[in-house]
Amino acid sequence: MRSDVHEVLADDGGEWLSIQEACAFLGISQPTIFRWMKQGLVSFYKVGGSTRFSKAGLQAVIEKTTGAKEAAAAAGRCASCGHHELAGGQIQGIGRMYFRPARTKFWSLEEALVPIQAHVCTACGHVQLHADAEKLRRLTPSRAMHPDGNAATVRAGKGGAGRG
Q: Summarize pLDDT for 41-100 with one digit per residue, the tens.
A: 899 999 888 999 998 888 888 877 777 788 777 778 888 888 888 887 766 666 677 777
For the ranges 22-26, 104-108, 129-133, the one whose mean pLDDT is highest: 22-26
What pTM does this model have?
Answer: 0.41
**Domain topology for 2-61:** Multidrug-efflux Transporter Regulator; Chain: A; Domain 2 (1.10.1660)
Tell me how far the alpha carbon of residue 21 is from its chain's centroid: 24
Segments making up each domain of the chain, as ranges: 2-61, 68-139
Letter string b/e over residues 6-39, b meaning 16 or more CB atoms within 10 A of that residue's CB? eeebeebeeebbebeebbeebeeeeeebeebbee
